[in-house]
A and B are shown apart, each in its own frame.
Chain A
Amino acid sequence: MQQSRAELVASLEQLAKDIRLDVVKALYQTGGYHLGPSFSIVETLLALYYYKMRVDPQNPKWADRDVLILSKGHGSAGLYSVLARKGYFPREELWTMKTFGSRLQGHPDMLRTPGVELTTGSLGNGLSAGQGYALAARMDDRPTRVYVIIGDGEADEGLIWEASMSIPKFKLDNLCCILDYNKFQSSGASTGCIMPTLSPIADKWRAFGWNVLEARGHDIGCLMDALDEAEKYEGKPTFIIADTVKGKGLSFTEGDNRWHIGTLTEAEYHQALRELGAEAAQ
Chain B
Amino acid sequence: MSELAVPVNGIGPGLVKVGETHPEMVFVIADNAKAIGGGPFAEKFPERVFDVGIAEQNMVMTSAGFALAGKLPFCNAFGNFLALRAIEQIRTFVAHTKLNVKFIGGLAGVSGGKEGPTHEAQEDIAHLRAVPDLVVLAPTDVVSTEKAVIAAAEWVGPVFIRIGRMAAPVFYGADYTFRIGKAEQHRQGKDATIISTGVMLGPALEAATELAKAGVEARVLDMQTVKPLDEEAVLAAAVETGAIVTAEEHTIIGGLGGAVAEFVCENRPVPVLRVGIRDVYAETGKPEELMVHYGMTTDNIVRSVKRALELKR
Kindly report which residue of chain B lies nearest to residue A135, judged by CB atoms. B50
A128 touches B58 (CB 8 A): yes
The answer for the CA separation of A130 and B66 in the assembled complex, in Å, is: 9
The answer for the CA separation of A271 and B68 in the assembled complex, in Å, is: 42
Chain A interface main SS type: helix
B96 touches A136 (CB 8 A): no
The answer for the CA separation of A6 and B290 in the assembled complex, in Å, is: 73
A159 touches B93 (CB 8 A): no
A135 and B58 in contact (CB under 8 A), knowing A118-B93, A162-B52, A166-B52?
Answer: no
**Contact string against A for B residues 65-94, beta-carbon threshold 8 Å, 1 for contact and 0 otherwise:** 111111101000000000000001100110
The answer for the CA separation of A139 and B72 in the assembled complex, in Å, is: 13
Kindly report which residue of chain A lies nearest to residue B64, judged by CB atoms. A129
A128 and B62 in contact (CB under 8 A), knowing A122-B88, A162-B55, A170-B50?
Answer: yes
A135 touches B62 (CB 8 A): yes
A119 and B92 in contact (CB under 8 A), knowing A135-B50, A136-B26, A166-B55?
Answer: yes
B68 touches A133 (CB 8 A): yes
Taking CB atoms, residues of chain A closer than 8 Å to B73 are 132
Contact of B63 with A by CB under 8 A:
yes
Taking CB atoms, residues of chain B closer than 8 Å to A166 are 52-53, 55, 58, 62
Contact of B61 with A by CB under 8 A:
yes
Kindly report which residue of chain B lies nearest to residue A128, judged by CB atoms. B61
The answer for the CA separation of A137 and B53 in the assembled complex, in Å, is: 21
Contact of A165 with B by CB under 8 A:
yes
Taking CB atoms, residues of chain A closer than 8 Å to B209 are none
A136 and B92 in contact (CB under 8 A), knowing A128-B61, A166-B55?
Answer: no
Contact of A278 with B by CB under 8 A:
no
Cross-interface CB contact of A132 among B57, B63, B97, cutoff 8 Å = B63
A118 touches B98 (CB 8 A): no
A130 and B65 in contact (CB under 8 A), knowing A122-B88, A122-B92, A125-B93?
Answer: yes
Taking CB atoms, residues of chain B closer than 8 Å to A128 are 52, 57-58, 60-62, 64-65
Contact of A213 with B by CB under 8 A:
no
**Contact string against B for A residues 108-135, beta-carbon threshold 8 Å, 1 for contact and 0 otherwise:** 0011000001110110011111111111
Among B21-65, those with CB < 8 Å from A are 26, 28, 50, 52-53, 55, 57-58, 60-65
Among A137-189, those with CB < 8 Å from B are 137, 139-140, 144, 158-159, 162-163, 165-166, 169-170
Taking CB atoms, residues of chain A closer than 8 Å to B92 are 119, 121-122, 125
A162 and B53 in contact (CB under 8 A), knowing A110-B97, A136-B26, A136-B70?
Answer: yes
Q: Which residues of B contact A (CB under 8 A)?
A: 26, 28, 50, 52-53, 55, 57-58, 60-71, 73, 88-89, 92-93, 96-98
Kindly list the 4 A-B residue pairs having the minimum CB-CB distance in the complex, ordered from nearest: A132-B65, A128-B61, A136-B69, A129-B65
23 residue pairs A–B, Cβ–Cβ below 8 Å: A67-B68, A118-B68, A119-B93, A119-B96, A122-B92, A125-B57, A125-B89, A126-B61, A128-B52, A132-B28, A132-B65, A132-B71, A134-B65, A135-B26, A135-B50, A135-B62, A136-B26, A136-B69, A144-B69, A159-B55, A162-B52, A162-B58, A166-B58
